[in-house]
Structure 1
Amino acid sequence: MASSSGQGRASGSQRTPHLANDTEGENPPSNSDTVTTEEQGEGEHSASNQLDPNTLWFDNNKVTRSITECFKEHYVEPCRNWTETSQSTKDHWFNLFKRKYSWRSELDSQVRQGFQRKAAKRLKDMHHWVTSKRKGVRPIWMPEEIHQQLMQKTKEDEFKKKSEQAKKNKRGGSLEGVVEPGHCQGSISTAEYARRMAAKNGGVLPKAADIYLETHSKERQPGQGKQLIGSKSKQIMDNYNKKLDDYREKGVNKDPNEVYFETVGGRKKGLIPGLGTSGDLLYKKSSTRTSSSSSVYTPSMLSQLSTTVEQYQNN
């Protein structure tokens, strides 16, 4: 059980032959956006650039960097976010992207959806990097006129208001006091962490609590082992371990992933709290676009397959 010192407890594991994203897009593209493998463009793509949810997908840092490169190759309007970006620019970015990667025709819709979701986040991050972190210094790839227009927008009252509110939200509603870190995984996605953990265990898919511990713990002092960061992380693991112990004392054999799901209150705004993109490896997403939150536990197909394989191996 997680102690007051912040020590976590492993929750078990599953063995699985594949690590896939059991995801469904929330914003289906229009017919004009659909791109097939026959339209992939110039030349053939190497096997290492074949997109597939089971191998290379949008939670991979390589794919994310490729999307950023598409922005740099064609940044022709001062867009602060995906909503402000013209459809022609979005289409051009995707055309650049499809020259770098290929995929099976049945994945057309999923690829476009995945690209749009990841591109929207990267564009927002890039705007913050250009206008805030670089303190007004123009990146070499951005046209001077576009940079000037982008910086001018940051002086607008509406932008300042939204920026101030965003800062407060990140700090729990106030700009005062010390803010505890939310995680310690750096720029690596939680899905990538889960895959690396599985690779180290010969294909064993980690439980939700194992992923949470890995991405919310760090070694504070040499030789003392990893400890959970922040009071919120400690509280979540304390509650999880208490629930797990209560079920065991009652003789209830409940899946640890379901216990974690109960602990964090289910899916919220499309994500499982504390798991980021790795949550879709373990939990099925709702098939309806309007239901991004859910308190009903449903394991993903990958998770169900993992359980079956694990039970077979243990018999």
Structure 2
Amino acid sequence: MALHKQVSFMTDTVRAEFINKRKHPDFVKRFNQARDNRLFGQTLEKFDPGHRQGSVSTSQVVKKLGEYMEKLEEYKNKGIEINPDKVYLEVLGGKKKGKVYGLGSASQMYYKSDLTSQSTASSSTPSMISQLSSPVEELKKTAEENHNKVEESQKIASERLKYAKEFVENHEIEKATWKKEKLAMQKTFKEMASLVK
């Protein structure tokens, strides 16, 4: 943020504090280090984009990746099959400050942490499993109950459909019977009418 300009959202006191903080030796040291990192390896003939992530410059990453590719090729030429992740760790020099650059939390798959964090991790794993298994069991139970309800609803619907079909069939039979009876009655009335005349 450009502090030499007057901005509406910042009071003069806050602005003055920001300016003073930028003069502090710790800030100046970090500022200069960040600037140097961004400009590392740049010349007039060649522009280097600086950083790809974190504090490691792009040129350093390119150098490490080149070493990685050389190591992979070396193992391939010797006929040795090796996990590419292990080669990557070898090129980087292993774990530094508890981390492996570029691998993030995946580094724990290859490097065990110290005993205190191992015991914490191993003791927290069973509790995490039990915490996760309880909701899973509840979900299974709910799913089973829902399945049973669906089956029961289907059974009821099937029975109702059966009764509806029977009703329609009975209605058709009764309708046909009534029609026959009506025709018979009409015939009888005609016969009676002809007798009365």
TM range (shorter): 0.3 to 0.5
Q: When the two structures are superposed, what TM-score results if normalisation uses the length of structure 1?
A: 0.27
Select the structure that is richer in helix. Answer: 2
When Rg is computed on C-alpha atoms for both structures, the one with the higher figure is 2
Q: When the two structures are superposed, what TM-score results if normalisation uses the length of structure 2?
A: 0.39
Higher relative contact order (CA 8 A, sep 6+): 1
